Amino acid sequence: MNQAVTFLSHGGDTVRDLQRYLNPQAEHLLDWFHVTMRLTVMGHLVKGLVSGASSLSSGGDGEVPHSAEIQKNLERIKWNLWHGNVRRALLLVGDLEADLDAIEGPSDAGEKLLRAVREFGGYITVNQSFIPNYGDRYRHGERISTGFVESTVNQVVSKRFVKKQQMRWSEWGVHRLLQIRTQVLNGDWHEKLRGWYPGMTPLSGVEITA
C-alpha cells in the first residue's frame, strides 16, 4: 500500500474513480496517447477542408487563414500541451474555435472540425489538473503514454476477433491470454507454473516473453 503508483488513463471519470478506489494516494495523469489521438483526428479533418471555399474568416481585414494555417495552430496546441502549458493551449483552442465558428456556410468537414475542436477544448479543460509537462517526464525516462498497450490490443487482440481469421478468439480465451501476458510482464508467470508443476526446474538467465 505504500508503493508509489502512477495511473495513466484517457480521462474518463469512471476509470479514474476506480483508480482512486484502488489507490487513493496515487498520481493520476492524462495519457498522452489519447491527447495526440484527438489531435490526429482533427488533423485529418483539416485535410478535408477545401482551400478557398472552406477558408476561415479572421474577423478583421487581414488575410483569411486556410487549412495550412489551421494545421499550424493544431501543432502549436500540441507543442504547448507537450510542455504542460495548458493555459496557452486552451487559449489557442478558443481562438481556433472562434475562427471556425465565423465561417459563413461551412462545409460538412468544417462543421465536423468545429465540433471536434469544441469537444477537445472541453476534454482538456476537464482534465487540465492531470496534464503534466510530458516533455520533462519523457526526458527523465518516465512513462507518459500507454500507447504500447493500445497497439498490442489493436494488433493482436482485435485482429483475432475478426471473423475472417482462421483462428478466431473467444472472449474467454482473450481474458485468459491477457492474464498470462500480465503475469509475464510482472515476472510472475514462471512462479505460477512452478505452483502447478512443483517438479519444474527454475530458469536461470532465461527471459520468458509473450
The pLDDT tens digits for 138-189 are 999 998 988 666 666 666 666 666 655 666 667 787 788 888 888 887 788 8
pLDDT tens for each residue of 14-25: 888 888 888 888
Pairwise CA distance, residues 190 & 194, whole Å: 6
Pairwise CA distance, residues 107 & 37, whole Å: 23
| Helix axes 86-101 and 108-127, enclosed angle (nearest 10) | 160
Pairwise CA distance, residues 104 & 192, whole Å: 65
- CA–centroid distance for 96 within its chain: 21
The per-residue pLDDT for 88 is 97
Contact 200, 194 (CB under 8 A): yes
pTM of the predicted model as reported, rounded to 2 decimal places: 0.65
Mean pLDDT of 17-41: 89
The per-residue pLDDT for 4 is 84
pLDDT tens for each residue of 193-204: 888 888 877 665
Pairwise CA distance, residues 30 & 10, whole Å: 6
